[in-house]
């Protein structure tokens, strides 16, 4: 129509000529029409261009709305936890939880009776009480199995509803109980890694990788269990550290519990002996005392101390377990584990230097660790001369096995203290480290620790080809303020291979009892050292470490030590 109208307008002047005001009105109308026409043309052109742009030029991809349906993975509240090889240690599975709206339930008693038959772990009385309450939301049971869910649906009771829920599952059960910890019914971490990395597990979707090796963890737990049974101990613990990185490869504390049902566990099984237990370390502490003496230049490998008779100080007597009753060289003091010699070395070292060195290797404060359950050591206060002497051979001070193992790692790795870690760091990020003793001290300590296993109290830990080194420690437990002669903590801390340590092993038995095979002895050399020997065998097999010839000259020279000088 528009074209025809404009035709008419254009045709007008031919037939009709207007003069004056009439002609002016005609001109105005024409201009206005022109402006309107141009405006419409431009508007339609814009719409047309936009249509072409949207339909043909915009890469032709799907409209954004459709992508709202898409999701990258199953909906989950909590990330998985895997071991260093990617083996799944903890995951969250979707379940259904049953809740009720009591206001919609017609017959609470009848419903309760029916439900109690289907749902294990509920009582009719309790259900009836809850279903009859005047709220509009009550949980009936969380985390139903698909079978239970089906059974509840079949009952057809109105007022019951399901909600998608999640349940934390630990496929390996008790094996990693003390490391992973557990969560509550609402999937909040209550212990272990689940607690300390709660935020990380909730916020980041990809799995949290631990430094634990599940194969090694199993082997360690199995061997420890065997030793506990053999010596009728009430418990035990073991820790394996990777020397170069300070990573924890295995951490076992027995007895343990099933994290899938933490509520059913007795509280003492939840106790992590490695990080929470503080024990008198006994002779294993002589490692630090000797290292301090060597590092401060108080004594050299050629020096020695008189250990011919016990030391009397106030009402205490410091004597040797199997006294040699003579002057002992420093290597002999470690080899025979002489308390008298160590105490004298401690006196020479002095209170301040002893304290300073122990503080440097990190055994005087709680060890920084990835678990929330870490105890602080019990240290003597005030630190008197008598304490200097007893601390020298590991009495009158209590530290956690973690403290001890981390400190020993620093002693054998060349003198660098590195906190132990449970969570795998990306390859290029190394944990902070600091030098706490000279390389020379570390080298000397390695030969001394090798000596203990080669010729001293730790012989049973020796494995030909792997140059195991370490130190035994047996401490009597304190019962009612007195040392109890038949209740001991027997422990061993060692490393291998001693010329270039790769693994630090700590093992401990709580109240072992001697048997025929050990001639009734329950000291560390008899009960724990063999366990460590078995662990070394298994670790070497798992990581495929080829044995070296113990007597090859290059190792012999490195480990050579002059035991007796006089």
Q: Is 27 exposed, middle or buried (0-12, 13-18, 19+ CB in 10 A)?
A: exposed
**Closest distance between other proteins and the C-beta of residue 42, in Å?**
22
The helix (run of H) or strand (run of E) holding residue 11 is helix 2-15
Spell out, one character per residue from 516 to 555, where the chain touches other proteins: x when CB under 8 A holds, - when not: ------------------x--xx-xxxxxxxx--------
CB of 542 to other proteins, least distance (A): 4
Site string for other proteins, 108-147 (x = CB under 8 A): ----------------------------------------
Give CA–CA dist 426/70, Å, rounded. Answer: 31
The nearer residue to other proteins, 90 or 399, going by C-beta atoms, is 90
Shortest Å distance, C-beta 44 to other proteins: 15
Within residues 311-330, the interface with other proteins by CB under 8 A covers none
**Residue 391 to residue 323: CA distance in whole angstroms:** 19
CB of 3 to other proteins, least distance (A): 10
Cβ 74 to other proteins, closest distance in Å? 5
Closest to other proteins by CB, 479 vs 517, is 517
Q: Does residue 172 contact residue 82 with C-beta atoms inside 8 Å?
A: no
- 313: which strand partners? 316
Task: Based on the residue annotation, tell me whether 94 is a catalytic residue of this protein.
Answer: no
Provide the angle, in degrees to the nearest 10, between the axes of the packed helices 351-360 and 385-392.
Answer: 50
Determine if the peptide bond prior to 239 is cis (ω within 30°): no
* Helices of type H across 138-189: 146-155, 177-180
Place of tokens 């304290």: 355
Instruction: Choose which of 70, 315, 322, 566 interacts with other proteins (CB under 8 A).
Output: 70
Which range binds other proteins by CB under 8 A, 36-44, 170-178, 442-450, 501-509?
Answer: 170-178
Q: Which is nearer to other proteins, 90 or 361 (CB)?
A: 90
* Dihedral of the alpha carbons of 517, 522, 525, 530, in degrees to the nearest 10: 50
User: According to the binding rule CB under 8 A, does residue 74 interact with other proteins?
Assistant: yes
Residue 464 as a binder of other proteins (CB under 8 A): the answer is yes
Choose which of 78, 79, 84, 89 interacts with other proteins (CB under 8 A): 89
Of residues 285, 274, 331, the one with CA closest to residue 305:
331
Q: Which of 24, 41, 94, 430 binds other proteins (CB under 8 A)?
A: 94
- Residues facing 494 on adjacent strands: 470, 505
Nearer to other proteins, 546 or 553 (CB): 546
Partners of 503 in beta bridges? 242, 496
Nearer to other proteins, 82 or 328 (CB): 82
- DSSP assignment of 203-269 equals H--SPEEBS--HHHHHHHHHHHHHHHHHTT-SEEEEEEEETTTTEEEEEEEES---TTSGGGS-GGG
Please name which of 566, 485, 546, 553 lies closest in space to residue 520, comparing C-alpha atoms. 485
Which listed residue (283, 329, 442, 491) is catalytic? 283
Furthest CA-CA distance within the chain: 146
Q: Check binding of 172 to other proteins (CB under 8 A).
A: yes
DSSP strand pairing (208-209 vs 81-82): parallel
Nearer to other proteins (CB atom), residue 426 or residue 546: 546
- Distance between start and end Cα atoms, the chain: 128
| Number of amino acids touching other proteins (CB under 8 A) | 38
Kindly state the smallest distance separating residue 448's Cβ from other proteins, in Å: 24
In SS3 terms, 450-467 reads as HHHHHHCCCHHHCCCCCC
Structure tokens at 264: 């059913």
Contacting other proteins (CB under 8 A), which of 33, 128, 151, 169? 169
Kindly tell me which of 5 and 565 has the beta carbon lying closer to other proteins: 5
Q: Which of residues 205-224 bind other proteins (CB under 8 A)?
A: 214-215, 217-219, 222
According to CB under 8 A, which one of 69, 147, 154, 516 is a site residue for other proteins? 69
Does position 173 interact with other proteins (CB under 8 A)? The reply is yes
Name the residue nearer to other proteins (CB basis): 367 or 527: 527
> Would you state the structure tokens that stand for residue 335, as one six-digit string?
């080899």
Would you name the residues annotated as active-site residues?
283
Residues that bind other proteins (CB under 8 A): 66, 69-71, 73-74, 87-89, 91, 93-94, 169, 171-173, 175, 214-215, 217-219, 222, 463-466, 534, 537-538, 540-547
């Amino acid at each position: 129509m528009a074209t025809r109208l404009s035709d008419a307008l254009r045709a007008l002047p031919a037939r009709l000529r207007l003069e004056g005001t009439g002609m002016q009105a005609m001109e105005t109308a024409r201009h206005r029409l022109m402006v309107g026409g141009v405006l419409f043309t431009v508007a339609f052109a814009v719409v047309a261009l936009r249509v072409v742009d949207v339909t043909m030029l915009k890469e032709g991809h799907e409209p954004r709305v459709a992508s709202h349906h898409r999701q990258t993975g199953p909906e989950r509240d909590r990330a998985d936890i895997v071991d260093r090889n990617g083996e799944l240690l903890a995951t969250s599975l979707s379940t259904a939880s049953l809740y009720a709206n009591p206001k919609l339930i017609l017959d609470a008693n009848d419903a309760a009776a029916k439900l109690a038959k289907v749902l294990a772990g509920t009582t009719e009385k309790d259900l009836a009480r809850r279903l009859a309450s005047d709220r509009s939301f009550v949980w009936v049971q969380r985390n139903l199995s698909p079978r239970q869910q089906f059974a509840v649906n079949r009952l057809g009771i109105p007022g019951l509803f399901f909600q998608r829920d999640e349940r934390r599952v630990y496929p390996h059960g008790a094996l990693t109980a003390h490391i992973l910890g557990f969560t509550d019914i609402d999937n909040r971490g209550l212990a272990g890694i689940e607690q300390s990395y709660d935020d990380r597990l909730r916020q980041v979707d990809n799995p949290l990788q631990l430094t634990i090796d599940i194969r090694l963890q199993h082997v360690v737990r199995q061997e420890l269990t065997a030793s506990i049974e053999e010596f009728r101990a009430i418990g035990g613990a073991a820790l394996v550290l990777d020397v170069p990185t300070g990573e924890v490869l295995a951490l076992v504390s027995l007895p343990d519990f099933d994290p899938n049902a933490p509520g059913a566990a007795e509280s003492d099984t939840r106790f992590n002996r490695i990080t929470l237990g503080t024990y008198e370390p006994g002779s294993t502490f002589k490692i630090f005392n000797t290292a301090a003496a060597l590092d401060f230049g108080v004594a050299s490998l050629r020096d020695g101390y008189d250990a011919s008779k016990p030391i009397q100080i106030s009402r205490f007597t410091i004597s040797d377990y199997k006294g040699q009753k003579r002057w002992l060289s420093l290597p002999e003091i470690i080899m025979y584990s002489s308390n008298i010699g160590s105490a004298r070395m401690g006196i020479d070292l002095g209170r301040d230097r002893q304290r300073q060195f122990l503080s440097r290797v990190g055994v005087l404060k709680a060890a920084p660790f990835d678990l929330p359950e870490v105890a602080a050591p019990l240290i003597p206060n005030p630190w008197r001369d008598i304490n200097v002497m007893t601390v020298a051979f590991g009495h009158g001070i209590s530290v956690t096995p973690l403290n001890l193992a981390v400190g020993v790692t620093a002693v054998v790795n060349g003198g660098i203290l590195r906190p132990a870690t449970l969570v795998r760091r990306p390859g290029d990020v190394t944990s902070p480290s600091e030098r706490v003793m000279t390389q020379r001290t570390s080298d000397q300590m390695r030969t001394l620790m090798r000596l203990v296993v080669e010729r001293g109290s730790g012989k049973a830990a020796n494995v030909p080809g792997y140059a195991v080194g370490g130190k035994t420690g047996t401490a009597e437990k304190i019962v009612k303020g007195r040392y109890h002669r038949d209740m001991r903590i027997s422990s061993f801390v060692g490393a291998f291979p001693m010329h270039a340590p790769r693994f630090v092993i700590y093992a401990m038995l709580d109240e072992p009892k001697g048997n025929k095979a050990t001639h009734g002895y329950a000291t560390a050399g008899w009960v724990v050292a063999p366990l460590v020997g078995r662990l070394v065998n298994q670790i070497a097999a798992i990581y495929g470490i080829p044995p070296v010839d113990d007597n090859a000259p290059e190792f012999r020279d490195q480990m050579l030590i002059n035991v007796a000088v006089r």
